[in-house]
Structure 1
Amino acid sequence: MAILPLGNEIIPKNQKIIDVNNAVNDRRINFQDLLVENLQKVSDAQLDSEKMDKLFAIGEVDNIHDVSIASMKADLTISLAVELTNKVLAAYSEIMRLQV
């Protein structure tokens, strides 16, 4: 009787790669569409925050927590967008420095 080594993988490595490739091909991910969609979400969060601020200022919103949450959500989305922009620009400059 042969003793086989224990493996910690349930799915073989090659199958994992095939599954990832199939998922990418099924969705037909387009970077431009993804970027536009997420920038629209950032804009919507900013507009929602401004709307909540105005409603709170005129007294139509009683719960300050909703105003604070909308403001923090807008702040986080814009911070994420800025960081993403910085990373993309850093990657672009690194690619441009490569010697061909």
Structure 2
Amino acid sequence: MAFINKVDNNLNNLTSINKQQKNNNELNFSDVLKKELNETNNLMQKAEKASADIASGEVQDLAKASITIQKAEMKMKMMLEVRNKAINAYKELLKTQI
């Protein structure tokens, strides 16, 4: 019986530790959005540099440069869709009558 109580106590301790870690690691929507915008901006800057390198002939690996450009395009498309969804949600909120 003592073994079961010890296991139960250990599980309770782990649960409380996990809850504390979740509280410390919680991100709100604005933090996530800022992080994604910064990441998109960084990818776009890398894509512009890769495009300039391709145009000037200074590119070392054409496939890698192409992949960098495609990643930036996809990330930008995703951010535009998030923006469009947010605008549509805002418009819907404006339409609601109180």
| Structure-1 residue corresponding to 2:49 | 51
- Structure 2 unmatched runs, 5+: 1-18
Q: What is the alpha-carbon distance in structure 1 between the residues aligned to residue 63 and residue 80 of structure 2?
A: 26
Structure 1 residue ranges, 4+ long, deviating more than 6 angstroms after superposition: 21-24
Alignment partner of 1:74 is 2:72: yes
Identity of aligned residues (%): 29
CA RMSD of aligned residues (A): 2.1
> Which residue is equivalent to 1:61?
59
- Closer/same/farther in 2, CA of residues 80 and 23 from structure 1, 3 Å limit: farther
Distance in 2 of aligned mates of 1:22 and 1:31: 20
1:92 aligns with 2:90: yes
TM-score (normalised: structure 1): 0.68
Separation in 2, partners of 1:24, 1:70: 33
Q: How far has the Cα of 1:86 moved from its partner?
A: 0.4
Where does the alignment leave 5 or more consecutive residues of structure 1 unmatched? 1-20
- Structure number with the higher helix fraction is 2
Instruction: State the Cα distance separating 1:22 from its structure 2 match.
Output: 8.6
Q: Secondary structure at the match of 1:39?
A: helix
Q: CA deviation at 1:49?
A: 0.6
Letter in 1 for 2:73: D
Q: Secondary structure at 1:56's aligned position in 2?
A: helix
Aligned residues: 80
